Amino acid sequence: MQAILALEDGTVFHGRAFGAAGERTGEVVFNTGMTGYQEVLTDASYKGQMVCMTYPHIGNYGVNSLDLESRVPQAEALLVRDVCEEPSNWLSEGSLPDLLARHNVMGITDIDTRALTKHIRLFGVMRAALSTVETDPAALARKAAQAPDISALNLVAQVSTREAYHWTDGTPSEWSAERYGYREPALPHPARPYRVVVLDTGVKYNILRRLVDSGCDVWVVPYDTLAADVLRYEPEGIVFPNGPGDPEAAVGTLESARSLMGVKPIFGICLGHQILGLAAGGRRFKLKFGHHGFNHPARLMRTGAVEITSQNHNYAIAMDSLNLDEIEVTHINLNDGTLEGTRHRHMPIYSVQFHPEASPGPHDSSMTFQPFVAMMEEARR
């Protein structure tokens, strides 16, 4: 089945459809990872976006139930150069096209993803329409231009849980050294687990797993849970995790963050980092084409060490908008100098723009959960 991808500026790509048929709109971004397509697809941070994979061969090792980062695929569409329909891997439970078809997600293959990526790098992220039914490229480009701007959407509300739940799973035993050639360092567990509340703005499963691995008793609540209701769980720590879209659109989460700052130890990741930055009086801005992939260098300001990190965000907090007498800059991005991490100088608040849980990605920053644990331990004393 033929498919057409049209950008809002009139640029058109012709290819072959896989997954679902029909028509979709969304914001096009590119991901620079060579693997991890299933984790990318199921990462709620990609809600409202079509993901162009820069690595050409996608789907080679199939899909499985271990590599899900949410219940279902969240991206609006997957754009690839060459999709593999007959995967080969001992953990594979099916093919990538079958996964997309089962969840009504569109894909397009046989397009020049290098050209698409270079176009986005040059002109910035833009809206697009993907269709197997519209045959007029100009008409499809007009549909792309008429699609809602992602900044105008409260995407967090679309991906958040509606009911609170208790999460108990740590890292699966299948994620062993035999599979990855790397084993996470053993973490000391407290005699009594730290009760942690996570406000679900689109949290990845592996953030929850890593919290459990770090000795936390994890409760997940809807994104707009009031601060008073969060405190009814008697948490020792609070996490504002990743999620999609503009942090200013997550109004309920932002209000809770402002109320909870200084009350309990707080850890922010990705969107959560941006929400905490706004709550501290900072200003957010949209990046030209975002950071999407797991090869982004972040420098630790105290030591000068560099970690290669996993990232997925289109917005950032302007460093010059923060009160540096109150906020310490802990990490910066070595590619473009943007803010990658902060620590409050007087309150137990720590946040990072990158994804320390990876999945997919390198393990350089896996110990980033430990400062949060240390803050909770200090609060016990």
Q: Is 270 a catalytic residue?
A: yes
| Strand (E) or helix (H) holding 259 | helix 251-260
Say whether the peptide bond before residue 360 is cis (omega within 30 degrees of 0): yes
Tell whether the torsion through CA atoms of 301, 304, 307 and 310 is positive or negative: positive
Residue 173: CB atoms within 10 A of its CB come to 6
Rg for the chain, CA atoms, rounded: 20
Phi, psi of 240 (to 5 degrees): -105, 105
Give SS3 for 229.
helix
What span, in angstroms and rounded, lies between the C-alpha atoms of 194 and 172?
Answer: 21
Q: Which of 69, 236, 270, 331 is catalytic?
A: 270
Other CB atoms closer than 10 Å to residue 342's CB: what's the count?
27
Among the options 296, 331, 355, 363, which is catalytic? Answer: 355
Measured from the Cβ of residue 66, the count of other Cβ atoms closer than 10 Å reads: 14
DSSP three-state, residue 203: coil
Of residues 24, 83, 82, 31, the one with CA closest to residue 52: 31
Task: End-to-end CA distance of the chain: give it in Å, rounded.
Answer: 64
CA–CA gap between residue 276 and residue 255 (Å, rounded): 10
Catalytic position from the list 76, 307, 340, 357: 357
**Residue 56, Cβ neighbours under 10 Å: how many?**
12
Q: Which residue in 309, 293, 307 sits closest to 353, CA to CA?
A: 309
Q: Please confirm, yes or no, whether 357 is among the known catalytic residues.
A: yes
Distance CA 277, CA 317 (A): 6
CA dihedral sign of residues 358, 72, 249, 372: negative
Cite the active site residues.
270, 355, 357
